[in-house]
Structure 1
């Protein structure tokens, strides 16, 4: 088996038909881990979910969210028939599909005819990425109707990382990831992979991977909070929004002490001289002080990383969400390059690619720009903080119609109150979703789409992030509930009414569809896999894989004879010469902005202000699983406060406290703990429900993003990232 010691092929089984009573082997589509599941079906319903211990990739791992997904599928509050708003906000009537599709198509045609395609915008929510038909089909559909305004969750989570990739690699995708199976020193910055299951990596057994690294070396977690990942390993507690300072201080030590691999940099990169010159401007002692750490500790960490033979830096969304997220994301790549970790065993790498040519969604950095504020897009994604202005500000290109796939920006995007006001002014607001959430209650139409138990699929977004060669395909476990329809079918029906042949009417795809090869994106992906390194190449490779063959291996398979080409990393670099770019005018400007920045309020003994950061919870996924009783019955989220900060404000554990800034005020329950750095408070986003889901409405909590502002002053201009983390806030004991 060579380099894949755990390689094994899943058990061969007879196909189980959709909806048939008994056990169905499928996989979770909540995050990039794509853990295997066993679904127990009785009388057309999924009555239980449990981990699939025969899945050769996840081998029995699954989180509490995955095994409760059937509660969403069969939720009495779920939308299972098209809805049309009738009367006040949140008041809907059920209508037939033909009426809904006709009304939506007529309204789109009228708006585009009178105001042009710039009057139509879209919003892409996180769950969309985990449905092949939704993510690929939505992009094709928007392209077919001429929509170029793509708003979405990316400006709340990944835009900064995509910008860092764009500068260093030449394109926003793919992400580089740590070589977990060979790493001996893993430094984690701004990530909590034991809760997130490894953002950006398809590695479902993350706890086992980290334990193995710690057993043979070190796992160091840099975070303002002692997270679930920090607790079992080494924790370096830093002040929030200081990641860039920490990386720069460490890089200065590595350069000054001759630990940088300059031969490797000269052979594989451009601009490293300019990077060295910029880092020379950093006072490492002062930079360490900005993190709250002693310089000697920072220097020791830098030396240990640089002198370790197999080391990698791994970063998550926490690195992206501060006031200097773009610079931090660039430094993440530059830090891994400084000691030649690209393509080195145990260093940073790109995931295995088992797919043939698939056109990526989106572009680089720049156009299209937001109509208001002229903020650039990243990979085609615009800054969501500018969406309210795009709807409300008069002028050419004003947004009058919004098409939203699986999103809830009123709770997950900045300036919730301003956004809510703007969304209520739209002439057409269509949501493709399965709940009347806080955003959808403002929609003109809600079209019900399937949960992952009701659709056929591949682990699509994980296929470019694999550390081991794995393939799996699943048919739908059950037929769609009620009148739920597949996302791609909906796009096709609207497109047909607009006079388009299909969401993507290219002659090549039409010809392939006539041959039965390409139908929906799930079928298109089958064709891509068949032409890829693991595929059957339409019969030329009898040992290869296709959708039909994988149906007989429902647990999935570890693919044999796939070379681990991580050392060919330069082939994944988009720059024509295959070399990294370690300096860029965009980065020069961000570097200057960092040096000119003052220490944030609350970080210098200020007894009034604290810095508010978010956090993840293993039972929660943004806002959309809060109607599942087993996940939320533990109680509403709390505001974490350090004992010193609580004492200074006369706050006791469990007290109600007021958290406020110029944008708004919230009343939250305080939880005093030592697991957070002094001067900081932590509260998760996605709470404060008040829509068409009864259990969620009873969870308590508040919408933390009401404290974030909408508009250009609340955006990191270079990346479009919303400034919703590291907010200076006033925390006081609430009046009795």
Structure 2
């Protein structure tokens, strides 16, 4: 008889609660969980297709090991034995830097991906870490690190309470949001307008988000930093800046006006292809709003001045007094995150080491993924000879995929943790496939740190682990043991063996800290109090108990507060964060209490957190840090540059998420197509026809693409989506291969980067387009 089970959706950053219908071990349906404390029943087409993804016949069900040049099915012991034999030997011969680790976007959508890669990096001892962040959000991490001292201190718009929302380079109606975890983003935007608020969208395309807006500005792509600088200049020059209570936390406010003196609207307008009046009106409306929030995403990060743009987003929130204010932009306080402590002010810096070949500075301990190919190809000491790729497909997602494709083929050894044999994992010597998502437990470690409301949710596996498969956390743990030179097969529960030392080390540090309420206690005794059916659950229990709402191992346990609206108990955050009340545990959150509330526990709206959130050396918001000041002359020089006649931008689609979901029939077809969108005026000028084909060329190469003539894209701009190009031999993606599309990143040679963050410029780069017969 069919049954139902709950599962948090892992397919985008909205983290909606799902109710799965299960017949035997098959997921036959998925709908929104109406009782979920966060998503309240919202579901998008990706979540509705959960069952089809879960049962995809192309998913690998057994490990693959390369023998005689061919990938062949193997058992788990053989696969880990191959890793334990090859990787330690390579490190022994060539050194720790001979191994690179690549983490893909899906990595942060799993518990295993949050818990084990740091342990893997420690076991390997390598600094060669490459992640999807340098194709996406690294500029925001760098700007937040410079402003607040913590690259993860990213304020999010208070969508449900703001009066004025300015979106720049973001299309959350189709992406479901990014670095802003908000189920039903479209509904929240509609609610904003229904309560009399204002939505302004800045985007070169008339996206579905832009269609909801009160005002849509379509500037020239790549001019975001100039536009935001002009808005900030106007606020300062017209004495509209009013930081209010933020003033006591600011360092460098007096220097900001001089730093931005070169960017009045009249100087910036031609480069943006907007009028000076439009810019001034927007600045004045932003300042006049009772509350306001500025939010920028992919389109504002993956451009030449991505870090400056990300910095200016928060500068505007600061100048209008809307940072750390209800209705503005606030800092979430996740349940499994660290408990705020005073005195932790190490600050943030980039460039603590550099890449071997081109000398790219690290940012947040990561190197630009655009540099991976040259690090593999270039001979010499420290050359990357082996790669461990986890949920990563950089052949499609990184610039110049053909070069990287060839480089990966020349590795001495490669391990891929991936459910598919895709364009990247086909090069691996060992492929370790995780089970379908219904067979994995889930807690959002990453995305709760960007959530628009504090909450805690955890779902255990909805379906028992299929015979012959290995739990994803167990795969990661055995990989850690294998790269350390230990044979994972000799350990019956590798996750428990790997997790136990982590738990004890964490508790030892906690009990040795005089600021901790657990100071002086026995870490072994506390470890014995943890609950959970597995090592990962014990680690989650530990993080919840030590977190800002945790019970701090109070074995008596405080009662949860009365039920909140919606029927689920609400847990109040500790009062006096950063003050006398810090460390109190009125709510007593733990894994046991979370399991007692399967639809989650509401922890309340976001609240002001300054100054506790600041980790700068000064203890204040460092408004004009040196790396930012050093970038401003480059931005100033851009005012004199002649704009390219035609530039390219990417685009999102509700039924897609990078290269992940193109193998799911329910998410293919329709408007989810890999076409080159062209404005009718440009199409006429370039002799392009709707449904015809075109040759598009840039510094990295050329592509043949189908043309879609549409007025949703402004003149001087063409748009091609990201994540396509499923046409390489050796991949096993039947549905995706039937409509492979073109890999837009093949147009890039990897040299165009946002300098402070090392992020590839994927938007606003010049192209040439010509018709094909």
- Fold shared by both chains (TM-score > 0.5): yes
Pick from 564, 571, 580 the counterpart of residue 621 of structure 2.
580
Alpha-carbon distance change, 452 to 482 in structure 1, aligned in 2, over 3 angstroms: same
1:41-74: CA deviation from partner (whole Å, max 9, x where unpaired): 1121112111112223211111101121222221
Map of 1:9 onto structure 2: none
* Aligned ranges 1:686-705 → 2 under 5 Å: 686-690=723-727, 691-705=731-745
Correspondence 1:58 to 2:39: yes
* Aligned ranges 1:45-444 → 2 under 5 Å: 45-86=26-67, 91-215=70-194, 216-233=196-213, 234-261=215-242, 264=245, 266-355=247-336, 357=338, 364-444=349-429
Q: Which runs of 5+ in 2 are unaligned?
A: 487-496, 508-523, 561-587
* Higher alpha-carbon deviation: 116-125 or 493-502: 493-502
What is the SS of the residue equivalent to 2:353?
Answer: strand
CA distance in 2, matches of 1:636, 1:628: 14
- Cα deviation, residue 514, structure 1: 6.2
- Cα deviation, residue 503, structure 1: 7.0
Alpha-carbon distance change, 471 to 424 in structure 1, aligned in 2, over 3 angstroms: same
What is the SS of the residue equivalent to 1:92?
Answer: strand
Correspondence 1:618 to 2:654: yes
* Aligned ranges 1:509-520 → 2 under 5 Å: 511=524, 517=531, 520=535
What is the SS of the residue equivalent to 1:619?
Answer: coil
Say if 1:180 and 1:209, in contact at 8 Å, map to a contact too.
yes
Say if 1:638 and 1:670, in contact at 8 Å, map to a contact too.
yes
C-alpha RMSD of matched pairs (Å): 2.3
Correspondence 1:665 to 2:702: yes
* Aligned ranges 1:450-599 → 2 under 5 Å: 450-481=435-466, 483-497=468-482, 498-499=484-485, 502=498, 505-506=501-502, 507-508=504-505, 511=524, 517=531, 520-538=535-553, 539=555, 540-543=557-560, 544-559=588-603, 566-597=607-638
What is the SS of the residue equivalent to 1:80?
Answer: coil
1:393-438: CA deviation from partner (whole Å, max 9, x where unpaired): 1111111111111010000011101101111111111000100010
Map of 1:723 onto structure 2: 761
- Cα deviation, residue 193, structure 1: 1.0
CA distance in 2, matches of 1:43, 1:266: 60
Map of 1:13 onto structure 2: none
What is the SS of the residue equivalent to 1:470?
Answer: strand
* Higher alpha-carbon deviation: 214-223 or 467-476: 467-476
- Cα deviation, residue 352, structure 1: 2.9
1:143-168: CA deviation from partner (whole Å, max 9, x where unpaired): 12312211010100011111111111
Say if 2:171 and 2:207, in contact at 8 Å, map to a contact too.
yes
Q: Which runs of 5+ in 1 are unaligned?
A: 1-19
- Cα deviation, residue 732, structure 1: 0.7
- Cα deviation, residue 202, structure 1: 2.2
CA distance in 1, matches of 2:551, 2:112: 23
1:184-203: CA deviation from partner (whole Å, max 9, x where unpaired): 01100111111121211222
Map of 2:494 onto structure 1: none
Map of 1:3 onto structure 2: none
CA distance in 1, matches of 2:129, 2:477: 19
- Cα deviation, residue 241, structure 1: 0.5
CA distance in 2, matches of 1:588, 1:475: 48
What is the SS of the residue equivalent to 2:6?
Answer: strand
CA distance in 1, matches of 2:337, 2:264: 47
What is the SS of the residue equivalent to 1:622?
Answer: coil
CA distance in 2, matches of 1:45, 1:509: 39
What is the SS of the residue equivalent to 1:238?
Answer: coil
Alpha-carbon distance change, 599 to 231 in structure 1, aligned in 2, over 3 angstroms: farther
CA distance in 2, matches of 1:139, 1:594: 36
1:632-685: CA deviation from partner (whole Å, max 9, x where unpaired): 132632111111110101111111011012321111111111111110000111
Alpha-carbon distance change, 368 to 429 in structure 1, aligned in 2, over 3 angstroms: same
What is the SS of the residue equivalent to 2:627?
Answer: helix
Say if 2:530 and 2:541, in contact at 8 Å, map to a contact too.
no
- Cα deviation, residue 461, structure 1: 1.6
Alpha-carbon distance change, 719 to 640 in structure 1, aligned in 2, over 3 angstroms: same
What is the SS of the residue equivalent to 1:230?
Answer: helix
Say if 1:642 and 1:675, in contact at 8 Å, map to a contact too.
yes
Say if 2:674 and 2:741, in contact at 8 Å, map to a contact too.
yes
CA distance in 2, matches of 1:677, 1:730: 16
Map of 1:654 onto structure 2: 691
Length, aligned pairs only:
703
CA distance in 1, matches of 2:65, 2:89: 18
CA distance in 1, matches of 2:28, 2:373: 42
* Higher alpha-carbon deviation: 236-245 or 468-477: 468-477
* Aligned ranges 1:25-36 → 2 under 5 Å: 25-36=6-17
- Cα deviation, residue 492, structure 1: 2.6
Say if 2:413 and 2:428, in contact at 8 Å, map to a contact too.
yes
What is the SS of the residue equivalent to 1:572?
Answer: coil
Say if 2:63 and 2:73, in contact at 8 Å, map to a contact too.
yes
